[in-house]
Chain A
């Protein structure tokens, strides 16, 4: 049987990258400053994770000049939405898998205790 953690995508399964995709999932686009403040991360860290997501084709990055200051807008792609959905499903399966395993362990323990008391 395949463990559900094998379904996790390495490009997505990271706190900041997962946060970026989740934030972008419900909006048209967000800028670098908004992502940085919401995810409570540094410029360098966010830039690095955005590059990973862009290379994987999960986000589109557009750099514009707004007045005199440069601005970076980030948009989730269709592949990004699919990857996020898969990641959420995998995480849910992990929780369900571990809970199911715990139940099995508890039931085995109970039946062993019953057997030993009747013996």
Chain B
């Protein structure tokens, strides 16, 4: 016969396990980011030709405009999806991450320009984005976003060996764009399979 304390421990353990499962379900929903990944992918693909046409330090208005439009589209996407699925996910963490990430990238680029560091000016904003992806991946326990963050660092290093200045920015942006669109496709396919 089981001692009452064993029953109590088993019950408390079971409840904690059930809570962990439900918590993981919420995290999985937060990690479902194929739409914002697609938006970011398109934004970065747009950066590639712009960086060659206009100077890399004149891209701030483009990013501000794209961030505004992208945020509205993403919030709308999550709202419509929430209406269909019966559960609205929290958009604020994603939105704040996007804004701070973009502003952080701008600050890195501006600092690089002021102190005359080409590395910080060209690779800084991209590495800031990689570090935010890493942080978000750890928060929502997403292996895909973690892989993206690692790939971003590698792509930054590889771009540095191939090109310099505006060319490096254009190459990094194009590679980021392809990476993000690829990740969005992988996540969307996986979600469709499990649905």
Contacts and interface: CB of A to CB of B under 8 A. Distances in A.
B86 A34 contact: yes
A19 B87 CA distance: 15
A48 to B, nearest CB: 19
Interface residues of B, number: 26
Interface stretch (A21-29, A51-59, A107-115): A21-29
B177 to A, nearest CB: 30
B29 A27 contact: yes
Interface in B1-32: 5-6, 8-9, 12-13, 15-16, 18-19, 22-23, 25-27, 29-30
A102 B16 contact: no
Contact of A94 (B9, B30, B89, B91): B9
B90 interface: yes
Contacts of A95: 9, 12-13, 16
B89 A19 contact: no
Contacts of B13: 95
B19 A101 contact: no
A63 interface: no
A27 B26 CA distance: 7
A25 B23 contact: yes
B16 A26 contact: no
A27 B91 CA distance: 9
Nearest to A36: B86
A91 interface: yes
Interface hub of B83, B88, B90 (most chain A Cβ within 10 A): B88
A42 interface: no
A119 to B, nearest CB: 28
A92 interface: yes
A27 B86 contact: no
Interface of B: 5-6, 8-9, 12-13, 15-16, 18-19, 22-23, 25-27, 29-30, 82-83, 85-91
Given A5-B8, A34-B86, 17 more contacts: A19-B22, A22-B19, A26-B25, A27-B26, A27-B29, A27-B89, A28-B88, A28-B90, A29-B82, A34-B87, A38-B22, A88-B16, A91-B16, A92-B12, A95-B9, A98-B6, A99-B9
